[in-house]
Amino acid sequence: MQSERIGKILLYPVVLAMLAANSLSAIAVQDEAEVAPQPAWQSLSSTQRKDVLAFAESYKSFMSRAKTELSFVTEAVQIVEKAGFVALAQNSKLKPGARYYDINRDRTITLVVMGSKPLTEGFRVVGAHIDSPRLELKGRPIYESEGFALFQTYRHGGIKNYQWVNLPLALVGHVDKKDGTRVSISIGLDPKDPVLLIPDLSPHVDQDFRERLNRDVISGEELDPIIASHPGEQSSASEAVLAYLRDQYDIEEADLVSAELALVPAMPPRDVGLDRSLMAIYGQDDKLSSYAAMRALMDQRKPQHTAIAFLVDNEEVGNVNNTGAASTYLVDLMAELVQRQRGDNYSARDLRTTLRNTKVVSSDVNPGVHPVWPQVWEAGNAPRLGFGVNLKLYGGGFNANSEFIAWTRAYLDEAEVAWQTATYKGRASGGTIGNTLSRDNMEVIDYGVPVLSIHSSYSLSSKVDIHMLYRAMNAFYQYRD
């Protein structure tokens, strides 16, 4: 009996340890369940699901027309004017709730809803870019080969060249003439229009080119679409093209030097999957974030902090030029607003104080977990389509500071926005406008949503993700410190 009692006494610590371990394991599982992201669809009510689907339809309709930064600005103006926005002018009243837009050289648009707090207490800015990878025409683009007339092109942003062959392409943009007139061109978006095409080599004759690797399967100089093959009444196919441009648009070959003409996929947005939960659309990097920002800004009435949607050009080529984020345009606009509000009391220090107090969401899409190649992600920090907004944690000094991330988590959770984290595995490339804006001492965090086939001709996004992003931006504008 005594030995039995001793055995039980010795067994008690083991049992207690096991119970404690099981208890801690259960707590760990519970904590993991609370931390791990869940599919966003599952958290929605039937009414919210209808909101998601309606938002997606509006987005697809907009994206069917907004193929470039130029057309994005044009389409955005039509939408925001119906929502009460007017062009910012020298005599515009900066009263709470006033709604303005400002356009920088037709290629960047900034939307503003004035807040009740003094501007020196900081703006709330959502920034995103509206340019997307595409092909552009060279200054003297028309040439002839083997009886075909073709366009010579170069690339705007990083693309995989082989994805742009055997694809219906539309020609969109404008030509500026020496007399100051502008001629708009759009060929290929209307189903009745002809399209342009870059033909690939057939497998019967491509033996000498099969050793090319990945992006060199088609070289950049081979991305030239056929634009005509029949001379008609002219001496050649290229002369027939020039005659067509003269007859239809009153432009000469030399006018193409001062043109901004892009070749973009002509396919309309389409639902993907039997459940229609995904969307295939050209240009979602990063018109997806820009559209969400525009819609969120339109929902603001009288915010505390003046709300801005900064929708900017040229991110895909490094934020360059006077329409890119590295331009002084945004800070100049903010300085103008602060100066007009402060009047004779304005000083340069007021602007610096304003920038220091400004909070920014830099929004951009990023690659999501791929069902066939999941190994390119580290699973614990991999953004998944349908799981909501992803906070980008780059490491290497590029993260938002921890207190701003915590502040962001607070309003996302309060608004019941589904969110996850995204950290690249190993070496990855890509950037946003966030690093550029942070140079002016604004508080910046990068977040967006995951997308498949980024920079391709037809990328995939989730309907619930873009709606979560829109809700996140709404919460950001409205959150009270």
Domains belonging to the chain, first-starting first, are 40-132+282-478 (3.40.630.10), 134-265 (2.30.250.10)
pLDDT in tens, 179-211: 999 999 999 999 999 999 999 888 888 788 888
| Enclosing H/E stretch for 80 | helix 69-82
Q: What percent of the chain has pLDDT over 70?
A: 91
Q: What pLDDT is stored for residue 206 in this prediction?
A: 77
Pairing status of strand 124-129 against strand 307-312? parallel
Q: Once rounded to an integer, what is the mean pLDDT over residues 139-149?
A: 95
Tokens of 179: 């007399």
Phi, psi for residue 141 in degrees, rounded to 5:
-85, -20
Cis peptide leading into residue 106 (ω within 30°):
no
Given a cut of 80, is residue 28 above it in pLDDT?
no
Q: Between 402-414 and 463-478, two packed helices, what is the crossing angle to 10 degrees?
A: 110
CA torsion sign for 191, 193, 198, 203 is: positive
Average pLDDT, whole number, for the chain? 91
Q: What pLDDT is stored for residue 31 in this prediction?
A: 47
Please give the Cα distance from 381 to 265 (Å, whole number): 32
Please give the Cα distance from 85 to 440 (Å, whole number): 27
Q: Enumerate the β-bridge partners of residue 426.
A: none
Please, which pLDDT band fits residue 325 given cuts at 50, 70 and 90? Answer: very high
Q: What pLDDT is stored for residue 19 in this prediction?
A: 41
Given a cut of 80, is residue 145 above it in pLDDT?
yes
Please give the Cα distance from 100 to 113 (Å, whole number): 7
pLDDT in tens, 230-261: 998 999 999 999 999 999 999 999 999 999 99
| Residue owning tokens 């870019």 | 129
Given a cut of 90, is residue 11 above it in pLDDT?
no
pLDDT in tens, 334-372: 999 999 999 999 999 999 999 999 999 999 999 999 999
CA torsion sign for 359, 365, 371, 377 is: negative
| Enclosing H/E stretch for 467 | helix 463-478
Q: Enumerate the β-bridge partners of residue 272.
A: 278
Q: Once rounded to an integer, what is the mean pLDDT over residues 74-88?
A: 98
pTM score, two decimals?
0.91
Greatest CA separation found in the chain? 116
Please, which pLDDT band fits residue 395 given cuts at 50, 70 and 90? Answer: confident
Please, which pLDDT band fits residue 266 given cuts at 50, 70 and 90? Answer: very high
